[in-house]
Structure 1
Amino acid sequence: MTYPDFKVIVIGGSAGSFSVISNILSRLDPDFRIPIVLCLHRLKHVRSGLVEGLSLKSVINVVEPFDKEKLRPNTVFLAPANYHMFLELDGTISLSTEESLNHSRPSIDHTLLSAAYVYRDKTLGLLLTGANKDGAAGIKRIHDVGGYTIVQDPATCDIDTMPKAALQLFEPSCIASPDKIAEILNGIHRELRSK
């Protein structure tokens, strides 16, 4: 399959997603170029530990971005605790403490919707295991603007509410297990590298 030149990969997840994203990040090519924006539901008042935990597994750099930080290759940008994370037209990340959406801050929908608006069909959206419907509307929007969408196979989820909510709204480009997701991302990266 031939993929577009993706400018960003945006991943959302909630309950059970730490082990899934750790597995995916551990299997990426070390020179993986496409910036990854990661929005995971997390405890509001626990500010440390998640970056460190992901960094132990990830072959590429994992950071919590500052407001107005620019996206860059070979990096995972993790939404900080208690902040919404948006992508901006100038290639930067903005952080916000506005009201929770879907009972969540950070909200996956906010991050995915902003990616769809900025990068349109050059967006790859990925929705993982989770316990509420946050992210379903956002990943559908990526689909609607022509982006590539992957939903974790509900049969492989700790809690399947989030992927099932998305699958009730639209048919994604791919439904895949965590191992398959890592294969797809590496395939996209290698194709991009060979151009």
Structure 2
Amino acid sequence: MNHDTVRAVAIGASAGAVQALLHILPSLPAALPVPVMIVVHVPADRDNTLVPLLDTRCQLAVKEAEDKEPAMPGTVYFAPSDYHLLVEKDGSLALSGDEPVNYSRPAIDVLLESAAEAFGSGLVGIVLTGANHDGAAGLRAVAAGGGIAIVQDPASAMSATMPAAALALCPDARVETLDGITAFLSGLVHA
């Protein structure tokens, strides 16, 4: 799998997500040739404050995902609070109010598993810092579909539980620091 076959990036994060995403996303170039879909665990009664926070700091467009919206290159899509974010077979985005998964809605596994089905070997799946096991099964689905599975180095994560759980289920995943993840994603521009 090489950079030039990547069609989309899906990222999951929980505890420590703000700091991790503030490290990665503002460094990505506006010419990023793929969409980036992100699930961060946000309480159902709160708005996702990451969108306005990151929109002012990023060269990429940053927005909350809308149901049936096509996923466009150079755009970061966040799951709205209290909705699962999924990817349809045609690459468009879908929102679901289905039951929580791993006690979370949105759930990282839901995004990663649906994106793995939609993009197969063209998907980069990334599990960042977090304090539960959400994302582990989804990352395994990414790897099984031929995509690139990346885990934040648990030693560098604010909360190591989630990346460690992902590595336990997906032991062949690439382990990267935030700088390594940023460099990998930036390299997609030159593919």
Question: TM over 0.5: same fold?
Answer: yes
2:18 is matched with which residue? 18
Work out the number of aligned pairs and report it.
Answer: 191
1:32 counterpart letter in structure 2:
L
Distance across 2 between alignment mates of 1:12 and 1:97: 18
1:141-192: CA deviation from partner (whole Å, max 9, x where unpaired):
100111001100001111110000011112244101101110011112211x
Distance across 1 between alignment mates of 2:55 and 2:103: 27
Instruction: Give 1:59 deviation, angstroms.
Output: 1.7
Distance across 2 between alignment mates of 1:53 and 1:81: 15
1:128 counterpart letter in structure 2:
L
Instruction: Give 1:4 deviation, angstroms.
Output: 4.3
Q: 1:46 to 1:148 in 2, by over 3 A?
A: same
1:43 aligns with 2:43: yes
Q: 1:10 to 1:81 in 2, by over 3 A?
A: same
1:98 is matched with which residue? 98
| Structure 1 gap segments, 5+ residues each | none
Give the conservation status (yes or no) of the 8 Å contact 2:113–2:138. yes
Report sequence identity in percent. Answer: 38
Instruction: Give 1:34 deviation, angstroms.
Output: 0.8
1:158 aligns with 2:158: yes
| Matched position secondary structure for 1:126 | strand
RMSD: 1.3
Instruction: Give 1:57 deviation, angstroms.
Output: 2.3
| Structure 2 gap segments, 5+ residues each | none
Distance across 2 between alignment mates of 1:19 and 1:48: 15
Distance across 1 between alignment mates of 2:118 and 2:2: 22
Give the conservation status (yes or no) of the 8 Å contact 2:91–2:119. no
